[in-house]
């Protein structure tokens, strides 16, 4: 089988009938502007554990924080990761593994994500933010409208390449972004198949989706082959390469290294980019909050470049990022497969059941949050406010499989927001509320359209 055939075979998997993303789509149909509302209504009606029979297998929807803890922490070893259909994106990266193999691959990479390393990364985050500012300066001049998630994705990818790999992005991020999006848009895949069955014309062909996967596969080799930017000694890429050379971990071969790079360039960018784009959307609709971000930036940073200490001092800006991830968690649901029989909240779970931990629902539940639909960054600063229930906020997951880069992403996004809003006023020009799509991640349907203004020119 040649490379194109392999990609053609892989390209359809995410939208195949046996994929959970495909199976969940009929459940998410009723409210076209926010399909997750339907799941919340189901929870209100049927309780915190809802088994749904879907052909040959069962999906069990879970919405209570205490039950998230049961699956993610207490019985973590009895629930394995679900990655069908996403293998072409992640290959055999650690995010897809379980047990001893997962541990062998994750542990040596952990030091690159320790908060002590963040200070070293900040100049590289800032370099990427400055490149983005040059582009936004051009948008401000022309007054044209543009889609924000693509913008924040190219920024997040640049930050990862510079800070973790010591590379300037050796690929065209706009092309890669469009290709991978084409693949992850499950609805599109479903549409392709349905249109094909009914003999209709369709725009994205299977060969296009395969081409997308081929383009994605070419990215890690380009990263490895590119010249180092600063010849730094301590980078994640060097850690990964030293794992390949380490005979005590034979599983960490060259393909593993390639797939780890893929993982960081998608798991570490799409989520970060969605958070920043949603934060800009919320701030455009809440100018008083945007003013507070600007005032904090001026008070803490002035005209200086940020340091690690400044990150700690940007408390309101950080709260904006936390509140954004509460309202728009990029990973709206975590998926596991039951590996042992169990009982969750009185419901028997069978081996093979697909478990969907519906974090979005807990994060919007008035039981756990005052005025859950309100954008109130202050709630993260006010110690006297209603105490949060543990596991009612899980944007990075929980337990041993929680996000390796969660803390780092908050540094990236807090600094980006602080520096970008000091110079620009991004104006959201789309519908409010922005309609959402819930596939693998929670994305704005049709994107988030913005127009850019330079502050000193519009003030
Ligand atoms: C706002 C930003 C981010 C969000 C919301 C997010 C969310 C998540 C979530 C929910 C998980 C757990 C999935 C599960 O339990 O099934 C996860 C895992 C992971 N994330 Fe993130 N993530 C973010 C940023 C990052 C960054 C910046 C990186 C790295 C550069 C990263 C790399 C990973 C990896 C490698 C895993 C798998 C960990 C493992 O399996 O042990 N993420 N992320």
User: Collapsing DSSP states into helix, strand and coil, what is residue 54?
Assistant: strand
Strand partners, 81: 336
Residue among 271, 322, 359, 401 to mutate when testing ligand 1 (max atoms within 8 A of CB): 271
69 vs 393: CA distance, rounded Å: 11
Side by side, the strands of the sheet bearing 49-54 are: 49-54, 57-62, 354-357, 334-338, 79-81
Q: Among 334, 328, 326, which Cα is nearest to 277's?
A: 328
Residue 457 tokens read as: 């020119």
Cα pseudo-dihedral 210, 211, 217, 218, rounded to 10: 170
Query: H-helix or E-strand containing 396?
Result: none
Q: Tens digit of pLDDT for each residue in 313-362?
A: 999 999 999 999 999 999 999 999 999 999 999 999 999 999 999 999 99
Contact at 8 Å (CB) between 113 and 264?
no
Instruction: Give the residue, out of 328, 404, 412, 416, with the most ligand 1 atoms within 8 A of its beta carbon, to mutate for a pocket test.
Output: 404
CATH architecture of 3-458: Orthogonal Bundle (1.10)
End-to-end CA distance of the chain: 61
Residue 454 alpha carbon to ligand 1 centre in Å:
33
d(CA 147, CA 100): 42
d(CA 260, CA 63): 31
Helical (H) or strand (E) element with 381: none
In angstroms, what is the span from residue 18 Cα to ligand 1's centroid?
25
pLDDT at position 459: 40
Regarding the beta carbon of 406 and ligand 1, being less than 6 Å apart is answered yes
Q: Which of 411, 425, 410 has its CA nearest to residue 294?
A: 425
CB 340 within 8 A of CB 80: no
Per-residue confidence (pLDDT) for residue 349, from 0 to 100: 96
Evaluate: CB of 95 within 6 angstroms of ligand 1: yes
Helices of type H across 107-147: 115-142
Residue 398 structure tokens: 């929980």
Q: Whose CA is nearest to atom 21 of ligand 1?
A: 403
Contact 62, 42 (CB under 8 A): no
Classified as helix, coil or strand, 60 is strand
Report the nearest-CA residue for atom 26 of ligand 1: 268
Going from the Cα of 405 to the center of ligand 1, the distance in angstroms, rounded, reads 6
**In the prediction, which pLDDT does 21 show?**
64
> Which ligand 1 atom sits nearest the alpha carbon of residue 394?
10
Residue nearest to atom 16 of ligand 1 (CA): 334
Listed by start position, the domains of the chain span: 3-458
Q: Is the CB of 408 under 6 A from ligand 1?
A: yes
Q: Which atom of ligand 1 is nearest to the CA of 409?
A: 27
Q: How far is the CA of 142 from the centre of ligand 1 (A)?
A: 36
Question: What Å distances lie between residue 210 and 6, 127, 184, 207, 326, CA to CA?
Answer: 8, 34, 12, 5, 35
Is residue 331 in contact with ligand 1, taking CB distance under 6 Å?
yes
The structure's pTM equals 0.93
Q: Which of 267, 318, 355 to mutate to test the pocket of ligand 1 (most atoms within 8 A of CB)?
A: 267
Any ligand 1 atom below 6 A from CB of 173: no
Q: pLDDT at position 189, please?
A: 55
Query: From ligand 1's centre to the CA of 156, what distance in Å?
Result: 14
Low-confidence ranges of the chain (pLDDT < 70): 1-23, 25-31, 185-205, 384-387, 457-459
Phi, psi of 52 (to 5 degrees): -125, 120
The residue whose CA has the least distance to atom 17 of ligand 1 is: 403
Which of 396, 408, 415 to mutate to test ligand 1, by most ligand atoms within 8 A of the CB atom? 396
Q: What is the pLDDT of residue 414?
A: 98
Q: Which atom of ligand 1 is nearest to the CA of 82?
A: 16
For the Cβ of 80 lying below 6 angstroms from any atom of ligand 1, the answer is no
By most ligand atoms within 8 Å of CB, the mutation choice from 114, 334, 403 for ligand 1 is 403
- Residue-wise pLDDT for 258-296, tens only, equals 999 999 999 999 999 999 999 999 999 999 999 999 999
Pair 442, 329: CB distance under 8 Å: yes
403 ligand 1 Cβ < 6 A = yes
Q: Which pLDDT score is estimated for 42? A: 83
Q: What is the DSSP letter of 354?
A: E
């Amino acid at each position: 089988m040649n490379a194109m055939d392999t990609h053609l075979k892989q390209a359809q998997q995410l939208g195949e009938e046996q994929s959970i993303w495909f199976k969940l789509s009929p459940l998410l149909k009723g409210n076209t502007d926010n399909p997750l509302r339907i799941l919340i209504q189901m929870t209100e009606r049927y309780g915190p554990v809802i088994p749904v029979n879907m052909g040959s297998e069962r999906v069990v929807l879970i919405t209570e924080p205490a039950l998230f803890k049961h699956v993610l922490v207490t019985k973590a070893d009895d629930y394995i990761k679900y990655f069908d259909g996403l293998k072409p994106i992640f290959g055999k990266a650690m995010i897809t593994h379980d047990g001893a193999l997962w541990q062998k691959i994750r542990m040596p990479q952990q030091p690159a994500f320790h908060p002590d390393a963040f200070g070293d990364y900040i100049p590289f985050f800032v370099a990427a933010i400055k490149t983005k500012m040059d582009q936004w300066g051009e948008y401000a001049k022309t007054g044209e409208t543009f889609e924000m998630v693509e913008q924040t994705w190219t920024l997040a990818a640049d930050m990862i390449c510079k800070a973790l790999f010591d590379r300037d992005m050796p690929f065209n991020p706009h092309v890669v972004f469009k290709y991978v999006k084409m693949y992850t848009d499950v609805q599109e895949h479903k549409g392709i198949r349905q249109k094909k069955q009914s003999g209709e014309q369709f725009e994205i062909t299977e060969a296009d989706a395969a081409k997308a996967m081929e383009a994605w596969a070419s990215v890690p080799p380009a990263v490895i082959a590119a010249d180092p930017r600063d010849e730094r000694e301590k980078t994640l890429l060097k850690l990964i390469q030293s794992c390949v050379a380490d005979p005590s971990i034979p599983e960490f071969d060259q393909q593993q290294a390639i797939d780890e790079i893929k993982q960081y360039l998608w798991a570490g960018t799409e989520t970060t980019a969605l958070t920043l784009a949603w934060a800009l959307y919320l701030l455009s609709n809440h100018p008083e909050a945007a003013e507070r971000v600007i005032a904090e930036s001026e008070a803490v940073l002035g005209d200086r470049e940020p340091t690690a200490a400044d990150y700690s001092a940007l408390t309101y800006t950080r709260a904006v990022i936390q509140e954004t991830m509460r309202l728009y968690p990029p990973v709206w649901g975590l998926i596991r497969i039951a590996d042992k029989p169990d009982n969750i909240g009185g419901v028997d779970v069978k081996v093979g059941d697909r478990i969907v931990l519906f974090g979005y629902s807990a994060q919007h539940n008035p039981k756990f949050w005052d005025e859950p639909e309100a954008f109130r960054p202050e709630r993260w600063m006010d110690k006297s406010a209603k105490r949060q229930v543990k596991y009612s906020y899980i944007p990075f997951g929980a337990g041993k499989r929680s996000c390796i880069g969660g803390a780092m992403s908050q540094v990236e996004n807090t600094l980006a927001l602080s520096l970008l809003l000091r110079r620009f006023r991004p104006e959201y020009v789309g519908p409010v509320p922005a309609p959402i799509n819930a596939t693998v991640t929670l994305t704005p349907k049709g994107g988030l359209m913005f127009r850019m203004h330079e502050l000193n020119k519009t003030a």
